[in-house]
Structure 1
């Protein structure tokens, strides 16, 4: 019976790794004030009040109802930084998406691999990509894609839609893309498939493919090389990379960062989810422990998997 009560009170979304330290500190202060007020009439009652409050904060993450919502809405970014919290939740935008976090570092393998987001190459812990000795990805010196729309149109990946003023996948490329998706969906995406798809010239054993809730992260010792909002998004990127390798003449010449940018942009044009069913586009919310923001999201209707997300503020800019 006692265990059932504890389980009902426990809220994993606000405790453990998801605990908001500012919320916890604020509620502990409130608990201390509450305990001191009760202690004026009964010292024992004050101790009980403090003890019960601490237990609730431990199990639930907060004492005062609505604390997480209020914190996300009103706590200044500067205060979050005092507690080592990023005031901007990470958007899972594929390869190279988002800054490295402490959680990313703690989850990585022991071997040192650096993903250089400026040079967009992977190197081991003893060799620099600038040495020119083959450690850089094959296309590290290739020109980046200046304009994604032009790239897609020139390579017959996209074309004007017949029924609306927009761009759509060409039937031919969509067939090639799903021709790569279907076998991958059966075999699964592993580290070797991901590393090969993005063109890292590094041992796949130096990377780790980590599942974090619904999201997937490709990790090295220095942090996350990429984040995807779902398995379907990762599957779509790996399959699209294989499709583009046979569809275009110079796909292998592009650096990993460029490939990541192309693949992330291409994913938003999917009209069929890699796991089956239609997709929808709309505004949704991305949350961390202490903050939240709105994103434009492309989501699988049947499974709820998110294929693409971009900060709404970035779209408006």
Structure 2
């Protein structure tokens, strides 16, 4: 009875499946598998073609890839606009969430004398006090559960080689942070804002966006208290490279904030 699960575990490639699955590469593999099945149907028989296609889909599901070198093939032959379409998050209606106005109403940010935006002094002081008093290296399930309105027993944290961590509630991924320091910033900011009735009335997706915006305002690292600098970076995914604006600690290297830059803005800037 255990032979099949053990065999699947032996061939499974978690670095290419689950949350790490690359959708463009998966799509390319399915197209190639379908093309191969059509060829078998034409030159051999339909039952053989269907069996081969089923096996190919199983391999893609378990291993992520069917054809070796898929990322290189995908990056070479698919236009960037197609690759980018796979990565797009669902668009929200304009005006659905005004980040600056909402954070201002919550008393978390204020306009600075030079017409910029900064953390409100009272919020800043309480937030930093909580960050100093908290564990900056290991996301705690109790904090995550409070932030996500979930049962702590259902929370599972998985770490990645780049320092990021993903959070699952049961089988579903519910959050991803650039680093444990970024996680610490979010759960402590959430704890400060929790005293405001209007905060808990916001949808979880909106709260996550607001917490990320607050992280972008930090000038010192929650982990080592080093200086945080905002700059541009290029992040390599499975089959494409993405230009991002990122906030990194100059002392410990923790990434606190990352957002993809609109290529149209970059093109305009390079004109």
TM beyond 0.5: yes
Output the CA distance in 1 between the equivalents of 2:250 and 2:79.
Answer: 34
Q: CA distance change for structure 1 residues 269 and 179 in 2, over 3 Å: closer, same or farther? A: same
For the pair 1:161 / 2:112, whether they are aligned, the reply is: yes
Q: CA distance change for structure 1 residues 315 and 180 in 2, over 3 Å: closer, same or farther? A: farther
Alignment correspondent of 2:214: 266
Alignment correspondent of 1:294: 243
Q: CA distance change for structure 1 residues 291 and 265 in 2, over 3 Å: closer, same or farther? A: same
Deviation at 1:87, TM superposition (A): 5.8
Higher relative contact order (CA 8 A, sep 6+): 1
**Contact kept? 2:235, 2:243, Cα under 8 Å:** yes
Alignment correspondent of 1:174: 124
1:245-264 C-alpha deviation (Å, 9 max, x unpaired): 13x23323333222212111
Query: What are the ranges of 5 or more consecutive residues in structure 2 without an aligned counterpart?
Result: 1-12, 30-67, 267-271
Q: CA distance change for structure 1 residues 179 and 220 in 2, over 3 Å: closer, same or farther? A: same
Q: Please, what TM-score do these two structures have when normalized by structure 2?
A: 0.63
Q: Name the SS of the counterpart of 1:250 in structure 2.
A: helix
Matching of residues 229-244 of structure 1 within 5 Å:
229-244=178-193
Give the number of equivalent residue pairs.
203
The one of 15, 18, 29 aligned to 1:17: 15
Output the CA distance in 1 between the equivalents of 2:249 and 2:139.
Answer: 19
Output the CA distance in 2 between the equivalents of 1:281 and 1:73.
Answer: 29
Matching of residues 250-261 of structure 1 within 5 Å:
250-261=198-209
Deviation at 1:316, TM superposition (A): 3.3
Q: Please, what TM-score do these two structures have when normalized by structure 1?
A: 0.54
* Structure with greater helix share of residues: 2
